Structure 1
Amino acid sequence: MGHNGHDHVIDVTDLRRVYSGGFEAVRGVTFHVEPGEVFALLGTNGAGKTSTVELLEGLTPPTGGRVRVLGHDPYAERSAVRPRTGVMLQEGGFPSELTAAETARMWAGCVSGARPPHEALALVGLEHRAGIRVKQLSGGERRRLDLALALLGRPEVLFLDEPTTGLDAEARRQTWELVRALRDNGTTVLLTTHYLEEAEGLADRLAILHEGRIAAAGPPAEVTATQPARISFELPEDFFLGDLPPLAELGVLAHEVNGRKVLLRTNELQRAATGLLLWARQARVELRSLDVRSASLEEAFLGIARNASRNASPTGLSTPSEKEYAA
C-alpha cells in the first residue's frame, strides 16, 4: 500500500481528546492496524473507546497527536477517506416509517459503487425483513440494519462500535461469522467491544484501554500471557501446605489457601505443574479437583484494570458467569 512509507491502514500516534470541560477522554494513545486484520479496542465503559473511534472516523479533530486512515487525515481529508470506510455507529438514526429495504436504497444513493441493497441485507440475515418498517424491527434487527448500511460501499476499512450490544446469542454468532468473512476478503476491521469473548474470538490483535490510555496491547494470547497461570487442587487428607516442595522452587509467585483448597499462581506453568505432580506421585497421593490453566483474557483484563487503578473497580464489563467460566 505504501501510505507515507507505511503499510498500516490505521496509524495513531500520541492521540489525545479533551472535551470542553477539560475532561481528557483519550490521553496519548498510540497503535496501528495492518491491512486485513481485525483489531479490537477493549475497555470498560468510559475507557475512551468511542472517543477514539470518533477521531478515527474524522468526526472531530484530535486535541493532540496524529491520526492517519489509509494514509490520510480523516478529518482534514474527509473526502479521500470517507468513501473507502464503513461505519457502524452505536445508534443508527433512521426514519422509522421507511422499510429496511427503502432505508438501504436511500443510503445506497449516497454511496458511490454501492453493492445492491438486497445483497447488503442478505449479508446480515435481514433479507426476509426487507419489507418491514424500521420502527417495527427489534433492537437486534436494527443493529443488523446498521451493519448492512456500513457494508453498502464495500469498505476497505470497517469501524464497528460495540457491534453486538443488544443482540441475542445467535445473532451475535452470525455477526462474528460475518466479520471473519469480511476479514478473509481483505477488509480491515476495527471494533470496540466490552465483551471479552468477542475480542478473544475475533481479534488478530487488541488493545485494552483504561482511563484513556492503552494498558496492554498485542495478540490476545500475548496479552493473556502477561498474567500468571494458575493451578488449583485440594490438599490430600493429613497433608499441609508445608509438606509440598518449597513453592519458590516450583516457580510459584503467590498462593492462597482456603480450607483444603490451594490456589497457586505462576509464570512458569509447566515447571510448577511438573514439580507438583512429581511430588504427588512420590507421596502417593491424589490431588483432587486439580485444575491447571493459563490466564484467560478475562483475568488479564481484570488484572490490568486492578493494577491500573488500585482503588477503582472495573465496571461495565461483561464476563461469562462463574458457572460457564468453570465449565
Structure 2
Amino acid sequence: MSAVGESASTAVLRARGLGVDIDSITILAGVDLDVSAGEVVGVIGRNGAGKSTLLDVVAGVRRPTTGDVVAFGLEPWRHRAAVTRRVAVQAQSAALLPSLTVIETLRLFAAVHDVHRPLHDVVAQTGLDPVLGRRIAVLSGGEARRVQLAIALLPFAELVLLDEPTAAVDPAGRMLIAAIVSDLARQGVGVLLATHDMADAEQWCDRIVVLERGSVIAAGAPAELVARHRAAATVVFRVGSDAELPAVRSLVASDDLAVSIDHDGVEVRITTDDADTTLRRVTFAPGFRARDIRVLRGGLGEVFFGGPPA
C-alpha cells in the first residue's frame, strides 16, 4: 500500500513497513504512513484493528517489531524525550487523577513542559472554564475528554496525536473539537487521529488510512476513497400495503430487495448500482405508488464496514 502523504519535504511523520507483534500475535503489519505539516490524517478501523497501537508507536511508547517510523528525523522509541518535545499526545483517562480538579490537572501537566501555551488560552479553546473547579471524578465523559484534549494542546507541539477525540462528546463538544483540529492544521501542526466516527473522519481529515486486522487496506482523501470503493446505493420508499409488493418485486431481483412492515405501512429498500435508473422505475412504475422516496449513498463506514465499525 502506498503511503498516505505525497510530499517528503513537509513530512513530520513517516512510517514504512511498520509492524508490531505482541505475544506472538501480529497487531500491525506493513503499515506505510506519512503526516505532513498542517495535514489531518485519520486512522479508521474496527476495534482491534491496531489504531491505538499505531499511535503508541508514533508516541514512542512501543517499539516496532519490524519496519521504520521516524518523527522529525528521530525514531520515537529510541529518542522518546526529544520526540516528546515536539509531539503532543491526548492523555488517556488512566492518566488523570480523580481527586484533582480540572485546573489542578492542567497545572500539573503544564509543569512538565519548559514552555507551554497560556492556561487561559487552552481553557478558552476547549470550553473548560465552567468546570475548572470540579474534580475529575465527577466530570461527564465528554468533559473528561475535553480535559484530555486540553492536555494535548498545552505544549507548542508540531504533531498532535488524538485517540477517539469525540468519544462520549455531545454535539456542541464535537463542534468545538472540530474547530480545534481545524485551527491546529491552519497553524501548520500535523494531526494524526484515530476514530470510530466516520462522519468526523470524512469531514475533518485530509487523508485517511483504513486499518483491517493490522494492515492498511486503503488510503487516500475521503472523497477519493468513497468514489473508488463506492458501495451500492439504497433506494428507500414506502407503499400503502403489502398488497402492492408483487408489483414492487417485479422490478428487482429478490436478493436486492428488503421489506419491513410497521404501523405506517410498508418500507421497501432496494440495493442498486444504478440509483438513478431505479429511482425512475420506482417513481413511474405501474401497480404501486411509492412515497417518501429517498436515496442513501454509502459513506466511509458503509464502504469499508457495511456501517459504523464495531
Are the structure 2 counterparts of residues 304 and 118 from structure 1 closer, same or farther at C-alpha, using a change threshold of 3 Å? closer
Match of 1:177 in 2: 179
Which amino acid is 1:192 matched to? A
**TM-score of the superposition, structure 1-length normalised?**
0.76
Match of 2:232 in 1: 228
1:255 matched to 2:256? yes
Which amino acid is 1:108 matched to? A
Q: Is there any run of 5+ residues in structure 1 with no aligned partner, and where?
A: 306-313, 318-327
* Aligned positions of 1:93-172 closer than 5 A: 93-172=95-174
Are the structure 2 counterparts of residues 264 and 118 from structure 1 closer, same or farther at C-alpha, using a change threshold of 3 Å? same
Instruction: Give the CA deviation at 1:286.
Output: 5.4
Q: Is there any run of 5+ residues in structure 2 with no aligned partner, and where?
A: 1-6, 261-265
Q: Residue by residue, what CA displacement relative to the aligned partner does 1:36-80 show, whole Å, maximum 9, x if unpaired?
A: 122111122111111111001111210011112233221223233
1:45 matched to 2:50? no
Which amino acid is 1:43 matched to? G
Are the structure 2 counterparts of residues 180 and 24 from structure 1 closer, same or farther at C-alpha, using a change threshold of 3 Å? same
Q: Could you tell me which of 206, 209, 212 is aligned with 2:208? A: 206
Measure, in 1, the Cα distance between the counterparts of 2:100 and 2:161: 25
Match of 2:300 in 1: 297
1:42–1:207 Cα contact (<8 Å) kept: yes
2:256–2:272 Cα contact (<8 Å) kept: no
1:288 matched to 2:302? no
Are the structure 2 counterparts of residues 149 and 241 from structure 1 closer, same or farther at C-alpha, using a change threshold of 3 Å? closer
* Aligned positions of 1:4-15 closer than 5 A: 5-15=8-18
Are the structure 2 counterparts of residues 229 and 138 from structure 1 closer, same or farther at C-alpha, using a change threshold of 3 Å? closer
Measure, in 1, the Cα distance between the counterparts of 2:222 and 2:72: 25
* Aligned positions of 1:36-115 closer than 5 A: 36-115=38-117
Match of 1:320 in 2: none
- Greater shift after overlay, 165-174 or 226-235? 226-235
Measure, in 2, the Cα distance between the counterparts of 1:62 and 1:126: 36
Instruction: Give the CA deviation at 1:85.
Output: 1.3
Which amino acid is 2:226 matched to? T
Instruction: Give the CA deviation at 1:267.
Output: 4.3
Secondary structure of the 1:15 match is: strand
2:301–2:307 Cα contact (<8 Å) kept: no
**TM-score of the superposition, structure 2-length normalised?**
0.80
Instruction: Give the CA deviation at 1:283.
Output: 6.6
Please tell me the root mean square deviation across aligned C-alpha atoms, in Å: 3.3
Instruction: Give the CA deviation at 1:154.
Output: 2.2
Secondary structure of the 1:61 match is: coil
1:101–1:118 Cα contact (<8 Å) kept: no
2:116–2:156 Cα contact (<8 Å) kept: yes
Measure, in 1, the Cα distance between the counterparts of 2:24 and 2:192: 27
1:224–1:299 Cα contact (<8 Å) kept: no
1:41–1:190 Cα contact (<8 Å) kept: yes
Which amino acid is 2:103 matched to? A
Q: Residue by residue, what CA displacement relative to the aligned partner does 1:204-227 show, whole Å, maximum 9, x if unpaired?
A: 222222211123222222222312
Match of 2:194 in 1: 192
Aligned-pair identity in percent equals: 32
Which amino acid is 1:165 matched to? A
Are the structure 2 counterparts of residues 166 and 261 from structure 1 closer, same or farther at C-alpha, using a change threshold of 3 Å? closer
Which amino acid is 1:37 matched to? E
Runs of 4+ in 1 over 6 A off after TM superposition: 282-285
Are the structure 2 counterparts of residues 41 and 73 from structure 1 closer, same or farther at C-alpha, using a change threshold of 3 Å? same
Which amino acid is 2:302 matched to? E
Which amino acid is 1:230 matched to? T
Are the structure 2 counterparts of residues 130 and 24 from structure 1 closer, same or farther at C-alpha, using a change threshold of 3 Å? same
1:83–1:112 Cα contact (<8 Å) kept: no
Which amino acid is 1:104 matched to? L
Are the structure 2 counterparts of residues 154 and 235 from structure 1 closer, same or farther at C-alpha, using a change threshold of 3 Å? same
* Count of aligned pairs: 295
Secondary structure of the 1:9 match is: strand
Instruction: Give the CA deviation at 1:22.
Output: 0.9
Measure, in 2, the Cα distance between the counterparts of 1:13 and 1:240: 56
